[in-house]
């Protein structure tokens, strides 16, 4: 009799737990649906910017201080959530030394055309395996990316 009672109690507890989780999941789903953009919002949103493959980039010395400042502001706004300025990995790889490890053309293509890079470039594919998260398209232009590279060069000690 006692083991039968224990079984009923366990069953009832399991059903109650499922009910609680089901209610929480329903509430979370409703909240997410309320926060989702409407079709009108999506139609009026800015289209994503996808770069075309960059074949060359000209670096200048000394660094363009205005570009470094603009690149830093873009980093602060769009990049720092995933990338540290040290060599430490956050979500994505740290940026310290990146301009010494990678060619500027590779960097600009990774910034502006990440889907193409992840599809075709073995080094980008290795980074995806290491970080386990795809770099999102940040809708940056080639001009924006060039200024980020100037900031990266400054971070790497170029004067």
Contact 159, 63 (CB under 8 A): yes
Number of residues that this document lists for the chain: 159
The alpha carbon dihedral of 38, 134, 78, 62 has a sign of negative
Mapped onto helix, strand or coil, the DSSP state of residue 133 is: coil
Q: Which pLDDT score, from 0 to 100, does residue 22 have? A: 46
Per-residue pLDDT of the chain (159 residues; tens, 9 = 90+): 555 555 565 555 555 454 444 444 556 555 555 555 555 554 555 555 556 788 899 999 999 999 999 999 999 999 999 999 999 999 999 999 999 999 999 999 999 999 999 999 999 999 999 999 999 999 999 999 999 999 999 999 999
Q: Which pLDDT score, from 0 to 100, does residue 24 have? A: 46
Look up the pTM and report it.
0.68
In the 8-state DSSP scheme, what is residue 86?
S
Question: Minimal CA–CA distance to 79: which of 30, 114, 129?
Answer: 114
Q: Which pLDDT score, from 0 to 100, does residue 146 have? A: 97
Q: Which pLDDT score, from 0 to 100, does residue 52 have? A: 75
Strand partners, 143: none
Is the domain covering 65-155 a CATH 3.40.50.300 domain? no
The CA-atom distances, in angstroms, between 17 and each of 3, 25, 117 are: 21, 12, 46
Mapped onto helix, strand or coil, the DSSP state of residue 103 is: coil
| Integer Cα distance of 112 and 50 in angstroms | 6
């Amino acid at each position: 009799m006692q083991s039968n009672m224990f079984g009923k109690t366990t069953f009832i507890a399991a059903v109650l737990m499922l009910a609680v989780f089901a209610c929480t999941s329903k509430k979370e789903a409703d909240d997410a649906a309320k926060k989702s953009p409407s079709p009108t919002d999506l139609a009026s949103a800015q289209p994503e910017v996808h770069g075309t493959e960059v074949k060359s980039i000209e670096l200048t010395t000394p660094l363009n201080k205005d570009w470094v400042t603009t690149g830093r502001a873009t980093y602060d706004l769009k990049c720092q959530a995933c990338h540290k300025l040290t060599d430490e990995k956050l979500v994505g790889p740290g940026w310290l030394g990146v301009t010494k490890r990678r060619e500027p053309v590779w960097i600009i293509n990774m910034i502006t055309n990440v889907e193409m890079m992840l599809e075709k470039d073995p080094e980008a594919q290795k980074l995806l395996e290491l970080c386990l998260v795809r770099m999102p398209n940040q809708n940056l232009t080639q001009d924006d990316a060039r200024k980020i590279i100037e900031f990266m060069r400054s971070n790497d000690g170029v004067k």
